[in-house]
Structures are given as C-alpha cells and as structure tokens.
Amino acid sequence: GNKNDLGIHTEVIPGGIARLVKEGVINGKYKTLNPGKTVASAFIGILPDELDIVDGNPNFELYDFTYTDDLRILVNQKNYVAVNNALAVDLGGQACSESIGPYMYTGTGGQTIFTVTAAYCNPGRSVIVTPATALVKGRRLSRIVPMLEPGSVVTALRAFVDSVVTEYGIAELRGKTLKQRAAALVEVAHPDFREELKKESKRIYHL
C-alpha cells in the first residue's frame, strides 16, 4: 500500500489486487506491455466487493494464458520482477511449487516461464516468497529443506532464483556460490530448524 505506479502482468490475480488498483498503487504507468492495464488470465480468491471494482473497469484486461505466459511476449517487459511461491526450497535455491515428493499438489502454472523471463529482462529479478514452515497433520515442517524430497518437481531452477523471502528475512542468492546460498537460506528458515539445516549444509556443501 505504500508503493506507487506498480504494474501487474500475471497468470492469476489473487485477492487484494483489485483494491490496490482502485487506490492507485497499481496503475501500470511504466509497463512496456499493456501500459496502464492490469493483465491476467483469471482471478482467484477475490471477494464480492473486489468483483464490483473489476466489473466494467477498463484498467483490467483478461487474456488467454497463451498470451499472459508467453516467454516471447514477456521478455519485452522492462523492470520485470517475478514473484512466486513455493512448497519447498532446497539449500541451493531450487524451488518446488507443484508437488510433495512425487505426488502432484497443484498444476505447473506459469512459474517456470516467469522466473526464466526475469533472468532475460533488463533489468529483471526473480523472487520466491514462502512461509518458513508448513503444518501437516499437526506437525510443523520446514519449507527450507536440505534437499528436495525424491520425486519433487523442480519448478524454478536455482539459476533463476535471485531471492527467497520468508517471514524471517530475505536470502539474497544472485551471484553467490552454493555454500553462500545455503548459509543465506538457513538464516531465513524458522529458528527451530536452523541448527539441523546448518548440520546438513556442512554435510552437503562442506561449510
């Protein structure tokens, strides 16, 4: 809410975006593609009052995902920041956002395309945002893990992940060695899991 002149080009618009458009935080002023427009292929999880904002609003444009997720189109955007989530991130920075081990949890979506796009845009940046933990059947698990579970789908390759954000901070990964990446990711993990992650870091990367 304290930002200005943001632009959106995404596959799915979540709740909250419509209000930011109404308040002028998101206006697409500096977008290279579809300037002045908030672009997506669908909405998800938006409330009735947000639907009222969107209905008939010329600031929103919906396209087929073959447009919103087209690498050839996206690379023409300037100052592009790809923001995605993840189910798990390993100590090298690989993000699994589709499966829990070999079991599919959600679809592939556009994350792979958007993270690759950010590497080719000038300037561009790819950010993975995830809670530090997940609660599974009453048990708290770390989303920052030494290695992805066997069979996990690597949605965002580590070479295309510049930053990982949790509620404990920002791990800046761009330009760092694997050892440096692991150390940075341990620092944004939940405190209860940091010691074990440090031990695993030493085992894997000889820190």
From the list 98, 95, 112, the residue with the least C-alpha distance to 171 is 95
Q: Report whether the peptide linkage leading into residue 58 is cis, meaning its omega lies within 30 degrees of zero.
A: no
Place of tokens 């990367």: 205
Give me the active site residues, please. 11
Instruction: Locate the DSSP E strands across 94-179.
Output: 95-96, 99-100, 103-104, 124-129, 133-136, 139-142, 144-145, 163-166, 169-172
- Token digits for 202? 């030493």
Residue 84 pairs in a beta bridge with 128
Q: How far apart are CA 1 and CA 38, in angstroms?
A: 16
